[in-house]
Structure 1
Amino acid sequence: TAKVLGGPIAWSITVNTTGSITQVTSFGVPRDTQEKVRVALEGKPFVSTALGGIVGPVWTPLPIDEEISTDAFGLFGVRSGWYIPISCLQENLVALVIVGGPSAGDFAEARHRDLVNFLAQETSLIAENAILREHDHYQATHDSLTSLANRAAFEDYLAHALAIATRTSGHLAVLLLDLNRFKDVNDTLGHHIGDALLNEVAQRLTSVMREADVVARLGGDEFVILLSTSADISGAKVAAKRLVTALEQPLLVAHRSIWIGASIGIACFPEHGTDPQTLLHRADLAMYEAKRTTVGVVAYDASVDRAQSSVPGLLLELPRAIQQNELVVHYQPKLDLNSHEVLGVEALVRWAHPTLGLLGPEQFVPLAEATGIIRQLTSWVLATALGQAAVWRASGRALRMSVNISARDLADVTLPDRVTAALVSSGVPADQLTLELTESAIMSDEAKGTEVLTRLRQLGVRISLDDFGTGYSSLAYLERLPLDEVKIDRSFLGGGNGAESFLVRSMVKMGHHLGLQIVVEGIEHWTSYESVARIDCDELQGFALSPPLEAAQLEQWLDDWTSNLPSGSSHPWRQAE
């Protein structure tokens, strides 16, 4: 600019979008003068300087003359010339160019006016285009909601990391993460809460991972993490479990605590793939297997491909299976530890698939929960189980029936009406039905969940908290919920050693203090049975007693159990053993 305008002195002052001077540079100025001006201006708000007072709200090129040069431009050693504000993006000043000389009359103003205006306009346009290009690049490579890298940027990062790992014979891992109950949050609390929750998840993920790792959002509630080249399969599993643990802790959104949870699939280089698309695809398959089996973390292997190959077909076939009665219900007995009688059973759904054989609930219930078919499935199980309970009552077997409900069921305000219809249709008294739900199902929206549970309780239905101890249990939380029963999770029973039995004993005492019935589930060994039989729990359930059975098989089992029950025996399980 100085060369074009013929000025012996030129200055450039850069102002950022917050209004602070960030850089001062010069041409034709002694070093000591340049340093003096730099120290005087850099870091200062532009509006507080004499220049800011002159420029004002209208940033147009103006000549420097004797009248204004003393205060505003004396610092720069300029008494005549031009100052040229360069502005862009809604008049955010980005730079100010001063061209002039130390003496009056150095510039012929009329001769340079058009040139100065042209330079100002062209430079402003160039600056604006540069900022827009930078903005467009950021928008193209970052997620607009969370500001994390997006899919395109992640694939670039991954391709670069793979090139390095290939040259150095290194390792890296891709972790694909999907939130477990995000759709329930959106459905029950609204999309604005869902968006805020995604932001909280993004912050938690970045806080847990190392600075060298890349965290990106692929879209929806899917995130992906690229671990550095030092990550092998075992290291990736450790990192993934750390992430799952971090997301098991409540997230504070709009002054409420939300529990969400996550499922993670792992694919590693070079074991599972050597290009970005293969690694992402196989991490995705592993993630769906983790979600399907509810184990939290799964690393890809060939069995994942086999398991997932049937998923799309199952998803399409499930509504038909419900309509055509391909589903069956098995019943697992619950033993009363005071009377040693079986007073109730839990209904567990199976799918008698025409080509795949008998499928367990872990193979199709998560699909139903993810797509909304779960409400139809729950209604079918309720009707079937209560119908069977009515048949047993008519034959003299008054067994309480327990049926599982999901988070999506609990978020449905029509659930009490559906339960009422099933009870009326079967003729089973409401107090003979127990609805079991997990802590996570309640905590996806505690307020609405409590409202629905209260309405169910008013019908006379019993409410059971399943898998107690694996989520977010607290005494205050249990006191708030309208519960009748707590089922202590099997994970506390590993072999029945002293530490575990002490923990179970404490849970039992706490539950009894709150007036709750206590069921210990997952009893698979008689050593566990003998351990919990001594700690005052009320009921027991597990494979050591009996696996889930078809209705006819259960009737035969009940007859055998009753006939083998010695009068007054305190250890009837030994007869079954």
Structure 2
Amino acid sequence: MNIKSNLAHSSVILKGHVNRYAFLGLLISVGSILIASCIVSYQLTGSVNLAGFIQAQRSNPAIWILDLTPFMFVYWGQAFCYGLVNKAESLLVDKTKELLNISGNLELKLKYESNHDSLTNLPNNRLLNEKIRLAIEQLGSQGELAVIVIKINDLNYNFSSFNANNIVKQFAEKLKSILIDPYMLKASLGINMVARLQSDEFAILMPRLKKDLDINELLIHLLTLLNNNLMVDGISINVTSTVGAAIYPVHGEEDDVLVNHAIIAVYQARKGNKSYAIYSPEMEEDLIQNRMVMNELQRSIENKDLKIYYQPIVELANGQIVGAESSARFEHPELGLLSAEKFMPLIEGTNLIHNLTTLMLKQVIKQLAAWHDAGHKIFVSVNLSVHHELPELIEKLLNDYEIAPQFLKLEFTERACLTEQMVTKEVFDRLSAMGIKLCIDDFCSESSSFIQLTNFPIENIKIEKSFVLKIAKDVKKAKIVEAIVKLAQTLGWEPLADGIADQNALEKLRDLGCLYGQGLYFSRAVNVAEFTSLLKK
């Protein structure tokens, strides 16, 4: 664009103008000439007339000089405007060029921001889809490409927003380094790409897979590379992830279809407690059913239709019911009464679990107050996930229903305790200071460190059901339970055995010194009315 030539016409018009000060000077100079000529005419002829005026003009040098001043003012006015217009034109050209440069940079910036994630600077799903389409065009019907989705487990629920962002950025850097891993470079003949889809989901595009590549082996290798702790505020955090893959053209021939199928594979893997999955058409049916379950659960929570079941916790020495473990159920119109095992994996890491936790705690503490009013001074345990607002919520509910804190026991899995130890320690300390008893659920079900668990104010541990079920027949399992009971006694923890199914298991646990137990031998989980009947026996 030639800016100067576009301004030429306007410049010519402006240059033809004369400023008002030039006109004022011109009027003053003409007036001065007339007055001076009249005065000289009077001096020469004794009167002011045309002949004297002409004689004055011819004979007086001073008037000659005055006669030049109008031309001087006209020239000055014209020259001033001409120079001013030239300067304005120059400034306008420079400013226009500057604005064009700024707008050009802004356009590039806007284009970059529309295609990249602001937190990690990775390509976003828009750019990912564009690259997938381009890769498909280049492949045609020859060759395969892979879309791999990686989801950080329990990111939004287990971490504060600041730490979550910190982890996301570190995780993004880790994924970028994985792209240049020798195995990953050999697996794809094209240029691999990593993108961020949403808060806790990333994707890797491998545009031209090597022939006869084992996708299972690829995903296992990817998980191995991702299996490194991340640092947050100087503390090592164990961040796990789940991976799902979709392959072109087997699992789809369009960009959005491939990404969606890879996401479905991730959720199918999470549902099956697996670390990875490869898409298959059957997963669609499960996804539809899962959505139906989540929708009905949300409706049930909103309508406060959640049902709480209670399983007795017995003091093994005398067989007395001393407490109850609570668990959530809800009625699905097509699938019937669903237990927590059916729907909890679907809502982990979502906002729905917060609503479920709040409603469940309200119902449990309200029922506990009713039992206490009836003279049944038992405790109730609730299995929860760790989050910042938990102490305030529980304190309010205990005050509202006038329940002493020692009658509420909170159970947490080992994995939940060790996911973000700093937050867990803070929450546990606050709960313990309130007088609430804390329990580790399914103790020894994870490969956790006893040393790490001793950092928390724990009072109880629940021995994992799979050990207890075989305690009377499997010598190794019995030895493990014995070691856990002795460890608990050494650390001042009260052991509780889950899954007591017969008299033999009960007697074995008594002999080992286990204090409490629960299982089908005493009772299955029952509704409020049935549990109240058990308390009255």
Is 1:183 aligned to 2:156, yes or no? Answer: yes
Q: Contact between 1:411 and 1:448, CA under 8 Å: does it hold in 2?
A: yes
Supply the distance in 1 between the matched residues of 2:406 and 2:161 (Cα, whole angstroms): 28
Q: Which runs of 5 or more residues in structure 1 are unaligned?
A: 1-134, 563-577
Of 160, 164, 169, the residue aligned with 1:196 is: 169
SS of structure 1 residue aligned to 2:349: helix
2:462 paired residue number:
487
For residues 544 and 210 of structure 1, what CA distance do their matches in structure 2 show? Answer: 53
Determine which structure has the larger helix proportion and give its number.
2
Could you state the TM-score of these two structures normalised by the residue count of structure 2? 0.64
Q: Which residue of 1 aligns with 2:81?
A: none
Report how far residue 406 of structure 1 moved: 1.7
What residue number does 1:505 align with? 482
Distance 1:513 1:262, change over 3 A: same
Instruction: Give TM-score, length-normalised by structure 1.
Output: 0.60
> 1:352 and 1:139, CA in 2 relative to 1: closer, same or farther beyond 3 A?
closer
Does residue 335 of structure 2 align to residue 360 of structure 1?
no
Query: Shift in Å at residue 541 of structure 1?
Result: 3.4
CA distance in 2: counterparts of 1:318 and 1:521, whole angstroms = 27
> Please, which moves more after superposition, 143-152 or 276-285?
143-152
Q: Is 2:192 the partner of 1:217? A: no
Secondary structure in structure 1 of the residue aligned to 2:454 = helix
Counterpart Cα distance in 2 of 1:528 and 1:556: 25
Q: Are 1:345 and 2:324 an aligned pair?
A: yes
Q: Does the CA contact (< 8 Å) of 2:149 and 2:263 recur in 1?
A: yes
What is the CA–CA distance in structure 1 between the aligned matches of 2:507 and 2:222, rounded to whole Å? Answer: 37
Q: Which residue of 1 aligns with 2:79?
A: none
Q: Which residue of 1 aligns with 2:261?
A: 282
Given residue 361 of structure 2, which amino acid in structure 1 is its aligned partner? L
Query: Cα offset for 1:382?
Result: 1.4
Name the SS of the counterpart of 1:339 in structure 2. coil
Partner of 1:547: 524
Letter in 1 for 2:201: E
* 8 Å Cα contact 2:376-2:535 kept in structure 1: no
Offset, 1:399? 2.5
Q: 1:544 to 1:222 in 2, by over 3 A?
A: farther
Whole-angstrom CA distance in 2 between matches of 1:201 and 1:162: 29
> Sequence identity, in percent?
27
1:273 Cα deviation (Å)? 4.0
Residue aligned with 1:325, SS: coil
Structure 1 residues 551 and 153: CA distance shift in structure 2, 3 A: closer
2:491 counterpart residue number:
514
| Structure 1 position 485, deviation (Å) | 1.1
Which residue of 337, 345, 363 corresponds with 1:384?
363
1:404-443 deviation per Cα after TM superposition (whole angstroms, max 9, x unaligned)? 2223xx222xx32321222233333211110112233334
Find the aligned partners of 1:330 and 1:253 in 2 and give their Cα distance.
Answer: 39
Pairing 1:372–2:347 present: no
**2: CA distance, partners of 1:208 / 1:513:** 49
Structure showing greater relative contact order (alpha-carbon pairs closer than 8 Å, 6 or more residues apart) = 2
**What's 2:397 paired with?**
422
C-alpha deviation, 1:166, in angstroms? 6.0
Shift of 1:297: 3.6
Whether the 8 Å CA contact 1:485–1:518 is kept in 2: the answer is yes
Q: Quick check: 1:461 aligned with 2:461?
A: no
Amino acid at match of 1:333: P
Q: C-alpha separation between the residues in 2 aligned to 1:479 and 1:447?
A: 14
Q: CA separation in 2, counterparts of 1:209 and 1:545?
A: 54
User: Is the contact between residue 172 and residue 229 of structure 1 (CA under 8 Å) also seen in structure 2?
Assistant: no
Q: Alpha-carbon deviation of 1:516? A: 0.7
Determine the C-alpha separation between the residues in 2 that align with 1:511 and 1:246. 36
Count of residues in Structure 1 that have an aligned counterpart in Structure 2: 421
Larger radius of gyration: 2
Higher strand share: 1
Taking structure 1 as reference, are residues 554 and 307 closer, same or farther at Cα in structure 2, changes over 3 Å only?
A: farther
> Aligned AA for 2:409?
T
Query: Is residue 165–residue 229 contact of structure 1 (8 Å, CA) maintained in 2?
Result: no
Contact 2:438 2:460 in 1 (8 A): yes
Q: Which amino acid aligns with 2:351?
A: G
- 1:531-576 Cα deviation digits (max 9, x unpaired): 76654433333456543221223345567xx6xxxxxxxxxxxxxx
Aligned pairs for 1:117-132 within 5 A: none
Out of 436, 443, 459, which is 2:411 matched to? 436
Q: What letter matches 1:417 in structure 2? A: E
In the other structure, the counterpart of 1:477 is 452
Distance 1:240 1:498 in 2: 37
Q: Quick one: distance in 2 between partners of 1:556 and 1:303?
A: 45
Task: Give the RMSD, CA atoms, in angstroms.
Answer: 4.3
Residues 380, 165 of structure 1: alpha-carbon distance in 2 compared, 3 angstrom cutoff: same
Report the residue type matching 1:344 in the other structure.
G
Per the TM alignment, residue 162 of structure 1 is displaced from its structure 2 partner at its CA by: 11
1:370 aligns to what SS in structure 2?
coil
Q: CA deviation at 1:287?
A: 1.6
Q: Distance in 1 between matches of 2:162 and 2:117?
A: 23
Preserved CA contact (<8 Å) 1:173 1:231: no
- 8 Å Cα contact 2:324-2:381 kept in structure 1: yes
1:346-404: per-residue Cα shift (whole Å, max 9, x none)? 11111223455323334544565534343332222112112222333344433220012
The separation in 1 between residues aligned to 2:301 and 2:398, in whole angstroms, is: 20
